[in-house]
Structure 1
Amino acid sequence: MNRSVISLQNAFIYQREQLVLSDVNFSIKNGEFVYLIGRTGSGKSSLLQTLYADLWLEKGTGIVGGFELHALKRSQIPYLRRNIGIVFQDFQLLSDRNIDKNLRFYLKAMGLTDKNEMNERILEVLNLVNLPHILEKMPHQLSGGEQQRVGIARALLNKPDIILADEPTGNLDPEMSVDILKLFLDINKKSNTAVLMATHDFELIERYPHRTLYCDKGQLRDLSDSL
């Protein structure tokens, strides 16, 4: 079913008291891959933070994964995030434990308690990112690209409707950036998981074109509308 996993209408995005994006209107369908571009400070991260309820939607309406952002209660935030996979630029792995315990910690936080189910899900997502043999390794023993793959695996643990990726290639060299993008595209194609990927890497966009949303001067434009 080609339903919207994200929909914002007449939304105003704030970072504290500062208005960063005005009158935002867009939707992302199930299985779509979409870039989010714009200069540093243009509102990309603030928009993503609003979508996973790290920032409140102060004005307008928004629906993400079936949850109404404009009517969301704090107690609902964990349930919203169980429908979303979030990938950060700086990996955000727990440095004091191995990869298996990193992923297990996340599953427990989501409320999963069955050990066999945990084992199966961890192996499944590590296979999806082509890292099936790193369970016992510590984060510092992995390359930056491998750490980001683990970050993507973590985002897939809850079988999300959509992955929100905030500059996921920002700390990687160009060759590894291409590998990570190809991984996102592969996951998007195979699992029909929608992806919204913020990036400033215009070379990636030129090489692998997809629908692109552009933050500029306090507005969000869909560049495909002008083609």
Structure 2
Amino acid sequence: MIRLENLQKTFVVDGRAVPALNGISLDVPEGEVFGIIGRSGAGKSTLIRMLNLLERPDSGRIAIDGRDITGLSDAALRGVRQQIGMVFQHFNLLSSRTVAENVRLPLELTASGSRAEQDARVAELLELVGLAAHRDKYPSQLSGGQKQRVGIARALANRPKLLLCDEATSALDPQTTQSILDLIADINRKLNLTVVLITHEMGVIRRIADRVAVIDGGRIVEMGPVAEVFLHPQHAATQSMVAELSHADELADSGLLDSATGAVWRLTFVGATTHEPILFDTASRYGLSFSLLQGTVSRLKDLPYGQLVVEWHGEAARLAEAREGLSARNVVVEVLR
């Protein structure tokens, strides 16, 4: 669906060249939810704006649905942009228009269908985002989450193949953020719509994305399936963002590692193994005792996972056998002490 090849972009600020993107290459298949995460200034906003050429690269290639759009004229690009919906951080609704009129706007601008066909499309979209009862309200009468639902409905008006979400939940409270992410995930499943979202929050990536690219200093420093990147981060930028979400640094700060007298392992497991009594089985089978020092059991989108820090006590030979046994059950064992 999307292919980016060696994108380069430099801005000139106060007469000084400031690199924004440096050699960005990635592929996003049709129907995937792809997350791009990075700190402020990392280059993620510049990158997502290139997907519909709101920002043009200095060099490199952008292909959407098999078509190279990099060199298109403004006139040709307008047709491409009709197939790319965009959801913004601050909603960008027209205050003088009702909910239904805001959703209708893209249909009016592209002269898509008759008035009756537009009415039917607007009604369909408002039902999809759960706002059918609010069609005649104005943006000032809506909550932040409702405004973003209008923004999503408007972005879908022309039946796009690609949906871009630019920090779409940053202005929302945590509960509303979850409901909006659930809505985007539902739309992705129902419509097989390719979604690219940028965020600075690893929690957003964990909840909705299939794969993720971590951008730092204008470069992609890590990329892969969310479970792999989230549970086994390799780059310092990724490790920092994961630590903020999982409070991974609290173990070191607590002093528990220094006071431990046994072997301390971090165990990571995904899928069906998450719901199995792994600690009890291991302790019973190998004659060990254990203490749970830290743990998380949650989900990465639809995939259950767990990550536990466990202190084990027992004979060295039995501990070695336990490590082998855990690995045989597809549990990743990292020795912390």
TM-score (normalised: structure 1): 0.92
Which residue, 2, 14, 17 being the options, matches 1:6? 2
Q: What's the offset of the Cα at 1:88?
A: 0.3
Provide the residue aligned with 1:149 in structure 2. Answer: 149
Provide the residue aligned with 2:323 in structure 1. Answer: none
Q: Supply the distance in 2 between the matched residues of 1:18 and 1:75 (Cα, whole angstroms).
A: 30
Q: Supply the distance in 1 between the matched residues of 2:114 and 2:209 (Cα, whole angstroms).
A: 41
* One-letter amino acid of the structure 2 residue matched with residue 49 of structure 1: R
Provide the residue aligned with 2:21 in structure 1. Answer: 21
Any unmatched runs of 5+ in structure 2?
Answer: 230-337
* One-letter amino acid of the structure 1 residue matched with residue 146 of structure 2: E
Q: What SS is found at the alignment partner of 2:152?
A: helix
Residues 15 and 55 in structure 1, CA contact (< 8 A), matched pair in contact too:
no
Q: What's the offset of the Cα at 1:203?
A: 2.1
Any unmatched runs of 5+ in structure 1?
Answer: none
| Alpha-carbon RMSD | 1.7
Provide the residue aligned with 2:136 in structure 1. Answer: 136
Provide the residue aligned with 2:41 in structure 1. Answer: 41
Q: What's the offset of the Cα at 1:15?
A: 4.3
Q: What SS is found at the alignment partner of 2:5?
A: strand
Q: What's the offset of the Cα at 1:212?
A: 0.5
Provide the residue aligned with 1:78 in structure 2. Answer: 78
Bigger RCO of structures 1 and 2 (CA < 8 A, at least 6 apart) = 1
Residues 33 and 208 in structure 2, CA contact (< 8 A), matched pair in contact too:
no
Q: 1:49 to 1:209 in 2, by over 3 A?
A: closer
Q: 1:207 to 1:64 in 2, by over 3 A?
A: closer
Q: What SS is found at the alignment partner of 1:93?
A: coil
Q: What's the offset of the Cα at 1:148?
A: 0.2
Provide the residue aligned with 2:250 in structure 1. Answer: none
Does 2:199 correspond to 1:203? no
Rg (Cα) greater in structure: 2
Q: 1:15 to 1:169 in 2, by over 3 A?
A: farther
Q: 1:183 to 1:73 in 2, by over 3 A?
A: same
Does 2:218 correspond to 1:218? yes
Q: What's the offset of the Cα at 1:135?
A: 1.4
Seq. identity, %: 36
Residues 125 and 153 in structure 1, CA contact (< 8 A), matched pair in contact too:
yes
Q: Supply the distance in 2 between the matched residues of 1:209 and 1:195 (Cα, whole angstroms).
A: 9
> Which residues in structure 2 correspond to 1:73-152 (within 5 Å)?
73-152=73-152
User: In the comparison of the two structures, how many residue pairs are matched?
Assistant: 223
Residues 102 and 150 in structure 2, CA contact (< 8 A), matched pair in contact too:
no
